[in-house]
Structure 1
Amino acid sequence: MSIQGGGPAEVEGSAVCGDTTARRHLSTLDRWLPLWIALAMLAGLLLGRFVPGVSEVLARLEIGGISAPIALGLLVMMYPVLAKVRYDRVAAVTGDKKLLVSSLVLNWLVGPALMFALAWIFLPELPEYRTGLIIVGLARCIAMVVIWNDLACGDREAAAVLVAINSVFQVFAFSLLGWFYLTVLPGWLGLGSQGLNVSVWQIALNVLVFLGVPLVAGFASRLIGERAKGREWYEEKFLPQIGPWALCGLLFTITLLFALQGHQVTSRPWDVARVALPLLAYFAIMWSLGIGVGRAVGLGYARSSTLAFTAAGNNFELAIAVAIATFGATSGQALAGVVGPLIEVPVLVGLVYVSLWAARHWFRTDPFASATSARATSEILA
């Protein structure tokens, strides 16, 4: 997906930002991606609403609280993107203290605090939905963000590092922050409080499945492929073959996710609208803060875009799993978790276009050249 002066560009979008083979026409899948995503969401909602037993079957296909079909879709989605990462250049990213500090502050200080504030501002009399939103704000994104970052021509190596850091923090900080924002802070402010019961093991398992498996697979693919055939073959022959898997996995995941809770979403439209408002504000504010901070500290477009999307995205699978395990599948907390991706997916797809527009009109750079430049700089610094 790409734009040029506000419209589609003559590049092969999602899979090739910054690659030397980029200047080709869009594939059918890429050209109409927003439409395919909308259709996947609609198909999932209709399946969950009108096909008896679909959501129950999907709910039963769980391993350790993780939906096996959704996990499969996320793994297929993430593997091609992580296979593109040049892991020998990651060390250059870890030395970028401006990027790392900005990401930690946005993700673990600003994000949860902002969602807490928005939940109380928009839903003061709805404690179940409010709690569900706060849980969404605590679950930092480690999965779909790699897709949004790649579509926006962000820095792949930087994205790999930031999601890995978020994963480590998630294991150790999620329960602590849940206790603070749902029990301690409301008590200090004289507001209603609600506890959160979630094990560190559940979070660690979520991280292992949704990041660990595709990360190891992507690293192994590049290591084996380059040693056997060379980097040129790997990047010009192998990667284009697996590239479409990412978007197919994304569409498959979206369909299943919305089918799982389709009946709840379609039967409670007013509640969905109430929950959607603070989510819209959250995604817009976090992305704007990310891109603005990146530009202010001189990160350049590619890493500023990566910072923006990692700050704006959330780990909806973890949030939904925690809400269901703690409050029940039919609870308001679980519904708020489900509404998260309902709003996040189309909003962040839209922000991909905004990001590419910002590259040309705010950063004064070609996003595709910027992605290439970021990789070249990494090679020089490594």
Structure 2
Amino acid sequence: MNATSADIDARAAGLGLFEKWLSVWVGAAILTGIALGNLVPGTFAALASIEYASVNLVVAVLIWAMIFPMMVAVDFGAVRRVGDRPKGLVVTLVVNWLIKPFTMAALGVLFFEVVFAHLIAPADAQQYIAGLILLGAAPCTAMVFVWSQLTKGDPAYTLVQVAVNDLIMIVAFAPIVALLLGVTDITVPWATLLLSVVLYVVVPLAAGAFMRRRLLATHNGDDAAVAGFTGRTKPLSIVGLLLTVLLLFGFQAETIVARPALIALIAAPIVVQSYGIFFIAYGWAKLWRVPHTVAAPCALIGTSNFFELAVAVAIGLFGLGSGAALATVVGVLVEVPVMLSLVAIANRTRSAFPAA
């Protein structure tokens, strides 16, 4: 028997209370991660070592669990029609590649050479600026699908936005970083870049397409079957998000406790950049009357960062214990709480945008 829209709405409503207080659960996951990371550091060190090409495979599995339900919702017919609505793509690409890297570099200089100049040695300041530049030049690949899902974004459009960004990143990341750092011999960790795209886009997309096709085949092409499946698997996304947060903070727990003031100083320009880029993209989308299902994800893509790539390049250029590597790691720690606040803003302002 096919699920009715009322059934689907009822199932979705069952998770409403949990989603409503998601920031509380994330806060609990952050505190739990910091506590466990200091109580059982060996366990987190062992989990952190399960990686290939700077991509932690445990985190990759959790992210896969987060984005799989959204991939099932991707309608490939809608993907082919994305070209009919180019405004969202234009906003994403201009903000990500013509604005974001340069504002991040400017904020790094402002904070570490002016605002915090009396607190940080000049050599350390240059390291932190370099780490911020690496973050600013690497738009997100994986977590965007989670933020899009939480804002009820168009899954097909989000997929295209991420795919186009990934293609541009292959050719633009190294030149932009070289320009801003003044370093010409940048070695892009291609294994990290390609493995991340495969793990976070190709594999879950293929699995989602297979599941979608099977659901439609067994329910006589009824789209309600797909909606029902994604509604039932939505808790998997939330659990994956909370476990990912717990692990990320657990991996860096000792650093957070040992150097809280420094972490706060590095976080300041990242937070300013995140909110600034979001409102630039979101405001532009509103002026252009882009539907909310496209506007929210296109603003969130620019705000989020591809931290695996940034961390890998920072380690390759400056070393594992460098200030640049530390700055990219702080970007990881700041991202989830900031992004959840932006998801909340996007959801509360939905009515200001035209319907899809």
Same fold (TM over 0.5): yes
SS at match of 2:153: coil
Of the three residues 56, 62, 70, the one matched with 1:73 is 62
CA contact (8 A) 2:274 2:304 kept: yes
Offset of 1:32 from its aligned partner? 2.2
Of the three residues 96, 111, 130, the one matched with 1:122 is 111
Q: Determine the structure 1 residue equivalent to 2:150.
A: 151
Of the three residues 289, 294, 304, the one matched with 1:298 is 289
Q: Determine the structure 2 residue equivalent to 1:107.
A: 96
1:127-146, aligned counterparts within 5 Å? 127-146=126-145
| CA–CA separation in structure 1 for the residues paired with 2:33 and 2:12 | 34
Map Cα deviations across residues 259-305 of structure 1 (whole Å, 9 max, x no partner). 11221122111111111110111111111011111111221222221
TM-score, length-scaled by structure 2: 0.88
**Identical aligned residues as a percent:** 32
CA contact (8 A) 1:149 1:156 kept: yes
Map Cα deviations across residues 29-80 of structure 1 (whole Å, 9 max, x no partner). 3232111111111122222223232342123211232111111111111111
Relative to structure 2, which stretch is displaced further, 62-71 or 50-59?
A: 50-59
CA contact (8 A) 1:132 1:337 kept: yes
| CA–CA separation in structure 2 for the residues paired with 1:225 and 1:302 | 24
Q: Determine the structure 2 residue equivalent to 1:188.
A: none
CA RMSD of superposed structures (Å) = 2.2
Q: Determine the structure 1 residue equivalent to 2:273.
A: 282
- Code of the aligned partner of 2:130: T
Q: Does 1:239 align with 2:230?
A: yes
| CA–CA separation in structure 1 for the residues paired with 2:158 and 2:137 | 19
Q: Determine the structure 1 residue equivalent to 2:200.
A: 210
CA contact (8 A) 1:102 1:293 kept: yes
- Structure 2, unaligned runs of 5 or more: 114-121
Q: Determine the structure 1 residue equivalent to 2:309.
A: 318
Q: Determine the structure 1 residue equivalent to 2:210.
A: 220
| CA–CA separation in structure 2 for the residues paired with 1:37 and 1:23 | 20
Relative to structure 2, which stretch is displaced further, 112-121 or 49-58?
A: 49-58
- Structure 1, unaligned runs of 5 or more: 1-15, 184-192, 375-382
Aligned length: 339
Offset of 1:195 from its aligned partner? 6.1
SS at match of 2:81: helix
Of the three residues 25, 30, 33, the one matched with 1:41 is 30
| CA–CA separation in structure 1 for the residues paired with 2:245 and 2:14 | 26
- Code of the aligned partner of 1:80: P
CA contact (8 A) 1:71 1:209 kept: yes
| CA–CA separation in structure 2 for the residues paired with 1:196 and 1:271 | 27
| CA–CA separation in structure 1 for the residues paired with 2:279 and 2:324 | 27
Relative to structure 2, which stretch is displaced further, 172-181 or 323-332?
A: 323-332
- Code of the aligned partner of 2:281: G
| CA–CA separation in structure 2 for the residues paired with 1:25 and 1:77 | 18
SS at match of 1:216: helix
CA contact (8 A) 1:265 1:335 kept: no
SS at match of 1:197: coil
Map Cα deviations across residues 119-143 of structure 1 (whole Å, 9 max, x no partner). 1111223111111111111111111
